[in-house]
Chain A
């Protein structure tokens, strides 16, 4: 059986089980709404455009935050890879920062940027930056020394060697870094939105929860999960696979 078919059967089974459980009242509608209620809530949400505005707002923050974090992450990664002193000092700080969830910066961010876009985007940037930094650093440090030797015998050196050989050679790590940065940024965004003003998927989730609309809560959770999975599998994993193949790291 193909993986896609297996997956389809699995999710169908899960929804049928969920629907039957609700039908026979194995659990109460207020605790776990039926799939039909969730579907209705989603349809209503899209019909009155709430969820559309939420998606647009969330994606806007994500794209800005992710773009900035990839830029800073790459620059910082290059610095750490090239300077031993930077690696010994800033590098250890980046490792420490990477190990904490970026949402803990929200209180400070709110003090600095107010309770709005600025604070959330700041948290998103912090979410993606450090994992990108560490991957860029590793990528540059792990460039096959043979490529560098070969390039040097062909008259390349200095800046030319760096941009034409070392950076392209570390592209597989850059792609992995970007993929992880996206995943961390997405989580940070949802956490940030839960705690701040709307519109946004996270905001609507909390809003629905405050009004006891569990069907919409589950609906938004499903959207968040689907967006995460789709972007990761359809975009990043595909790019990653192609790059690994082209770079000869996978047959």
Chain B
């Protein structure tokens, strides 16, 4: 398999020396070119898992293999888009997109490539602007262009549209879907939004919380564009909602218990 996640466990030890199991025995196999959503309530460790694929966080035990290579540290083969755009404010839009390219090619090639990918996210008119001059949605598109420009084998996205308003989010969903179809990238997309995961992905991995485990692995066989199949979408949404209801109750009960104790 293209991405293999094998027996991943993550245990944090907090100040009082209590061991908290964040992820418990996660096993996933993701084929090349698939658009997978990892869906779950906050605190289920889905972002931690993504961060492990990126090589930014280490697992307590278990291993991750991407394209035959064991993940040890971050690398350009795994591009990451964060919830915040994470653009460098002291660089122009073009300079930001060139950042990951500058060592692999000369300036002219890098600038050419940057232009190509800015065009893909329809921001070529803003090449000379600085991040603070762009809206949140535009910044996030630059961030996507920057990640795509280094031609990663996998695109890791950590709630990339979570901080945007509804209209912008919906537009970016369309753009991302098109980019995915055009580039055939493998995408691992972390979200807590059920509708977002159904709209975008081939497959939804539903995670439960405390400890984080995979509670369901659903193939989404609704034809694209999904907006045209509202009934099927609604049915799937209800099914996932049912799966997650117990998890959300669990979180609420735990928080209430915590409140009562303190």
A interface residue numbers (CB < 8 A to B)? 146-147, 149-157, 164-165, 168-169, 171, 245-248
Contact = CB atoms under 8 A, between A and B. Distances in A.
Contacts of A165: 88
- The bracket for how many chain B residues form the interface is 20 to 34
Interface string B62-94: 000000000001111011101010101110000
A154 to B, nearest CB: 4
Given A169-B90, A247-B90, A155 B150 contact: yes
Contact of A153 (B54, B84, B103, B131): B54
B99 A154 contact: yes
A155 B100 contact: yes
A69 to B, nearest CB: 24
A149 B132 contact: no
B contacts with A: majority SS: loop
Contacts of B86: 146-147, 149-150
A162 to B, nearest CB: 14
A62 to B, nearest CB: 28
21 contacts: A147-B86, A147-B88, A149-B80, A149-B82, A152-B55, A153-B55, A153-B74, A153-B76, A153-B80, A154-B76, A154-B146, A155-B75, A155-B76, A155-B100, A155-B103, A168-B88, A168-B90, A169-B88, A246-B132, A247-B90, A247-B132
Contacts, number: 60
Contacts of A155: 74-76, 100, 103, 150
Q: Which of A149, A155, A164, A247 has the most CB of B within 10 A?
A: A155
Contacts of A169: 88, 90
A contacts with B: majority SS: helix
B84 to A, nearest CB: 6
B135 to A, nearest CB: 13
Given A146-B84, A150-B80, 20 more contacts: A147-B86, A149-B56, A149-B80, A149-B82, A150-B82, A152-B73, A152-B74, A153-B54, A153-B55, A153-B74, A153-B76, A153-B78, A155-B74, A155-B76, A155-B150, A156-B99, A165-B88, A246-B132, A247-B90, A247-B132
A247 B89 contact: yes
A169 B99 CA distance: 14
Contacts of B76: 153-155
A57 B132 CA distance: 42
A246 B95 CA distance: 14
B90 A171 contact: yes
A147 B88 CA distance: 7
A152 B71 CA distance: 14
